[in-house]
């Protein structure tokens, strides 16, 4: 349920969902990919101790 709400209201995840939809992925696959993305984000936050920064990858590319 959290995945569905996140893909609707979180801008970072919304862009990710749009990219998947443009690639022709099914809605269930998109939900699974969003769950995986959220788990990676949460793990990174817990492991590093830093708050989430959606612009981090653009600044460190």
15, 30 Cβ separation under 8 angstroms? no
- Entry field: residues in the chain: 61
17 burial via Cβ count (<10 Å: 0-12, 13-18, 19+): buried
**Per-residue pLDDT at 9:** 85
Among the residues of 1-61, which ranges form H helices? 2-9, 11-22, 27-48, 56-59
pTM to 2 decimal places = 0.75
pLDDT digits (tens, 9 = 90+) for 5-56: 888 888 888 888 999 999 999 999 999 999 998 898 889 899 999 888 877 7
């Amino acid at each position: 349920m959290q995945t569905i709400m996140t893909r609707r209201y979180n801008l970072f995840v919304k862009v990710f969902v749009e990219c998947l939809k443009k690639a022709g992925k099914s809605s269930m696959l998109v939900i699974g990919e969003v769950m995986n993305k959220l788990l990676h984000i949460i793990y990174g936050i817990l492991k590093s101790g830093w708050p989430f920064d959606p612009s981090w990858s653009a600044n460190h590319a």
